[in-house]
Amino acid sequence: MGASGPYCQNGPVTRASLDKQPHEVASMFDDVAERYDLTNDVLSLGQARLWRKEVARAVDARPAQKVLDLAAGTATSSLPFARTGAYVVPCDFSLGMLRVGKQRHSWLPFTAGDATKLPFKDDTFDAVTISFGLRNVQDTDAALREMYRVTKPGGRVVICEFSHPTWAPFRTVYTEYLMRALPPAARAVSSSPDAYVYLAESIRAWPDQRALAGRLGEAGWGKVAWRNLTGGVVALHRGFKQA
Ligand SMILES: C[S@@+](CC[C@H](N)C(=O)[O-])C[C@H]1O[C@@H](n2cnc3c(N)ncnc32)[C@H](O)[C@@H]1O
């Protein structure tokens, strides 16, 4: 890593690089934890709340079902499932994000864990979901396999992630927003604006809807389908573990 790149031994990591070293990713989220939810609302132009409602509908959590919200951060993404009466476990490897989450939602069973080596037994959860997390995991396929392992037979996965707008003119405008408008906007509201340069770059490098669906299938998930939100700025992927 070059002298101008992220560092972590002698100071805070302000952003991860695209090879997504786990210690850099965790440190980057530790750094943004306090203002993470506010920054999200601002930079998504209010769309984040709408996306979360759609995730809740897709997961369709029922009372007493066990739901794993992986890469849950401060657990804002976990709240809609908890409200249905499901037993929700928010899990993340950034202790900073977990700490802020625990201060705000102390009743939730926050769990420290890495998406590629989950600290849960096989066939534990009725549903496993991950919002804006999978793109940050260094080994996507290992995470998809781990999510499969901890899901009960017949259970479901819902992945909410930034994706690729399907209408070319909108895709051009959106890419301009990501690369030009988002970094200055992040500078105004975030404690760690460089993390949002990583956000823009990692979204551009992320597989499109069809390619991600293929990766789910390779990890074992069946009946894989996806739905675009906000013209494909975000996509929800769903799959099932064979009963
Ligand atoms: C953009 S935040 C999303 C938080 C939350 N799900 C939401 O929707 O607001 C991404 C989260 O992924 C977590 N993360 C990244 N890689 C991870 C891994 N390998 N294992 C567990 N958590 C991970 C980060 O620590 C961070 O909290």
Atom of ligand 1 lying closest to residue 115 CA: 20
Q: Which of 47, 70, 94 to mutate to test the pocket of ligand 1 (most atoms within 8 A of CB)?
A: 94
Task: Provide the edge-to-edge strand list for the sheet that holds 125-131.
Answer: 111-112, 87-92, 66-70, 125-131, 151-162, 234-240, 222-229
Q: What is the pLDDT of residue 199?
A: 86
Name all domains of the chain by residue range, CATH numbers in brackets: 8-240 (3.40.50.150)
Phi–psi pair at 118, nearest 5 degrees: -70, 140
d(CA 77, CA 48): 10
pTM, rounded to two decimals:
0.93
Q: Which of 153, 157, 109 is nearest to 133 (CA)?
A: 157
- pLDDT by residue for the chain (243 residues), tens only, comes to 333 333 333 345 567 888 889 999 999 899 889 988 888 888 788 899 999 999 999 999 999 999 999 999 999 999 999 999 999 999 999 999 999 999 999 999 999 999 999 999 999 999 999 999 999 999 999 999 999 999 999 999 999 999 999 999 999 999 888 888 887 877 787 767 788 788 888 999 999 999 999 999 999 999 999 999 999 999 999 999 999
Give exposure, 92-122, as e/b (b: 16+ Cβ within 10 Å). bbbebbbebbeeebeebebbebbbbebebee
